[in-house]
Chains A and B, each alone.
Chain A
C-alpha cells in the first residue's frame, strides 16, 4: 500500500512493472480504515478480526467487491 501524488502517477508507476490497477483509496478513506483497524491495537483485550469482521469493516467504509474479499 503506497501513496502517490495522483492516479496519473499510479498509472505511470505501475504499468512498466506489470502491476494491476488494483484498488485506489482517498487519503481520508485510508485514514478511516487505518484508525478503525489499529486504534485498539494496544488494548489488553485486542484480538485479531475474523475475516467476516474485517470484510464488514471494509464494507462499512465502502470497500466492497471482489478486490476487498478475504474469503474465497
Chain B
C-alpha cells in the first residue's frame, strides 16, 4: 500500500486518492481509506483534516510549496528544505531544490550531483525542537 502510493505519486506527480488505490490493489474503498488513516497515524502520511486526501507523503508535498524540486524522475515540491533535499535523495541523488531566503527573498538553489552537494552560501534553520515536530508538522 505505502509503496504503491509513493510510486504513483512519483509517476504521476500527485498522490493517488484512496479510491484509486483501492481499484489498483483490488481492495474495498473503505479498506483503502482505513489504510491511509493508519499510515497517517504512523506519521508516514499527512492527510487533510477529516478526509483521506494526502497532503504530504514525506518528503513530497501534494501542493506547491516554496521548495521546488527538480530530480532525475521529474519535478516535485518538498515540504521544507530537509524534505526538498530528501526528495532529491529519494529520486536518484542528483537534482536541485529551488527556494528563497524568507528574510530577504533572495533565491537559493541547492544542487546535488551524484550524491554530492555543490557549495551554496546558506544555512538551514530549525525553529522547533525534534520532540515537537509532529505537534504541528506543517509549521515544523
Tell me the A residues contacting B by CB distance below 8 Å. 1-7, 9-10, 12-14, 19-20, 22-28, 30-31, 33-35, 37-39, 41-42, 44, 46, 48, 54, 58, 66-72
Whether the pair A27, B101 counts as a contact (CB closer than 8 A) is no
Enumerate B1-35 residues with CB–CB distance to A below 8 Å.
Answer: 2-3, 6-7, 10
Residues of B within 8 A of A30 (CB): 81-82, 85, 124
Enumerate B84-124 residues with CB–CB distance to A below 8 Å.
Answer: 84-90, 93, 99, 101-104, 106, 108, 110, 112, 115, 117, 119-124
Min Cβ gap A32→B in Å is 8
User: Given A5-B108, A9-B104: A35 and B3 within 8 A (CB)?
Assistant: no
Return the contact of A24 from the options B80, B104, B123 (Cβ within 8 A): B123
Nearest residue, chain B, Cβ from A29 = B124
Whether the pair B123, A27 counts as a contact (CB closer than 8 A) is yes
Min Cβ gap A27→B in Å is 5
Residues of B within 8 A of A12 (CB): 103
Tell me the B residues contacting A by CB distance below 8 Å. 2-3, 6-7, 10, 42-44, 58-59, 80-90, 93, 99, 101-104, 106, 108, 110, 112, 115, 117, 119-131, 140
Nearest residue, chain B, Cβ from A23 = B126
Whether the pair B101, A4 counts as a contact (CB closer than 8 A) is yes
Whether the pair B131, A22 counts as a contact (CB closer than 8 A) is no
Nearest residue, chain A, Cβ from B39 = A48
Whether the pair A3, B3 counts as a contact (CB closer than 8 A) is no
Which of A10, A30, A31, A71 has the most chain B CB atoms closer than 10 A to its own CB?
Answer: A31
